[in-house]
Amino acid sequence: MTTLVRKYNVPGPRYTSYPTVPYWDQEAFSLKDWKATFKASFLESNKREGISLYIHLPFCESMCTFCGCTKRITKNHSVETPYIDAVLKELALYRSFVGERPVIQQVHLGGGTPTFFSEHNLARLINGIFKHADKAPQCEMSFEGHPNNTTLEHLETLASFGFKRVCYGVQDYNETVQKAINRIQPFAHVQRATDQARQAGYTSVGHDIIFGLPFQKLEHVKNTIEKTIQLFPDRIAFYSYAHVPWIKGNGQRGYDEANLPTAEEKREQYEVGKQLLAEAGYVEIGMDHFALPTDALFHAQQEERIHRNFMGYNASKTQVMLGLGVSAISDSWYSFAQNVKGINEYYHLLENDILPVFRGHILTEEDLKIRQHILNLMCHFKTSWETPALYFDELPEVLIKLKELEADGLLIFEHKGLRVTEKGKPFVRNVCLPFDLRLQRNKPETKLFSMTI
């Protein structure tokens, strides 16, 4: 395994989309085209299955240096009201040109720190959304909670609107690691937040754990996993720290790369953690995600309904995902659009009745085929090109590049298809790379992505 780690530890996307953001064709994109493709897809999806809604709430009271999300650090809570007003205005602009009340199938509040907002303001946000939208009968509603500031009032307020899933960022319980990433968070806080979520009626409580953090040792990961198992969350995201200080700015420059575990140490952290989770009854779901057999994500994976997008892994799929708020990305399946990242610019555009989009991509026929292959691999660890709809001209060259991964036991070719082996699952990003034609044709001269291992 050590030899494979050294061989395949290369920069690569995490494939929450295809094409990945650095390879969006921005010259061929326009706000007019985005609105046209979004409206057409929305009208189709809204009638059939509804749409998903992602809302980015960017404020945090302190900077977690491991985080790559768009955020604004402040202790001034007067920012809450104008931001919610702006998000609701953005939704109103979309509503005005699609001409129908959205049917919401999924809602996810991300950040930043959604629980930076008071329960009163979160209620105002959700009320504002459903004043002009309908909730689908089986609407899934979830949010990201910070264990240090998520209160029972937060949980109960959101539960009253139908929120049943919460995910807490745990990362690691070791004090040295917590100081390095500026996330001081005792186990007692996580235990309280987890217990209160269940008390409030949440049916799925998730914990996020990261390996490969600065100063993190194998014993730290083992201790964190063991403590996590005591609380028995329904889902666990156990993923690799993405060290990209050239993209994320000064936050990740607070420690040297020499302070990070080596690729071999990271892989050992993952393998040991994965084994502990398996012994506790967790099943691997997609890349770096685990769930109990009682959780909806497990059932979705078993029934091959699991989906992956900018919100991560989901138990159901909608063709349209509308992202609201600074930096949020929307997905119409046929196109992507990302909002501006500056809050003042976001406010200014909305005040002038302009959608706050600053870049995007209209998918080509080839993009749509590649997107489906990568989605198949990331969600089901297999894909097929048996039908003409999934065959593309460069597939023979892609299969040649995959031969080496087959020789290393990471995948098996089947009749007009392939399957990632158990040994190959930690390398699924590497399996996707040959399919990524936009990356293959435009190899970056500088690093754009984190390492795959």
> Which residue has 């060290």 as its token pair?
243
Residue tagged 């910070």 (tokens) = 146
Between the CA of residue 171 and those of 52, 181, 221, 290, what are the distances in Å? Answer: 27, 9, 9, 15
Of 19, 1, 17, the closest CA to residue 9 belongs to 1
242 has binding-site annotation: yes
CA contacts within 13 A on the Cβ side of 162? 16
345 appears as a binding residue in the annotation: no
Backbone angles phi, psi at 284, to 5 degrees: -70, 125
67 annotated as ligand-binding: yes
The number of beta carbons lying within 10 Å of the beta carbon of residue 48 is 10
Place of tokens 């702006």: 86
Task: Check the annotation: does 69 bind a ligand.
Answer: no
Is position 139 annotated in a ligand binding site?
no
Task: Fill in the DSSP letter of residue 176.
Answer: H
Q: Is 325 annotated as a binding residue?
A: no
For 334-371, letters b (16+ CB in 10 Å) and e give bbbbbbbbebeebbebbeeeebbbbebbbbeeebebbb
What single DSSP character describes residue 241? -
417 is in an annotated binding site: no
208 is in an annotated binding site: yes
Beta bridge partners of 51: 104
Say which amino acid occupies 208.
D
Is 68 annotated for ligand binding? yes
**What is each CA distance from 284 to 4, 79, 271, in whole angstroms?**
21, 40, 12
Judge whether 151 and 119 are in contact, CB under 8 Å: yes
Annotated binding site for S-adenosyl-L-methionine: which residue ranges?
Answer: 54, 66-68, 111-113, 144, 171, 183, 208, 242, 329
Annotated binding site: which residue ranges?
Answer: 54, 60, 64, 66-68, 111-113, 144, 171, 183, 208, 242, 329
Annotated binding site for [4Fe-4S] cluster: which residue ranges?
Answer: 60, 64, 67
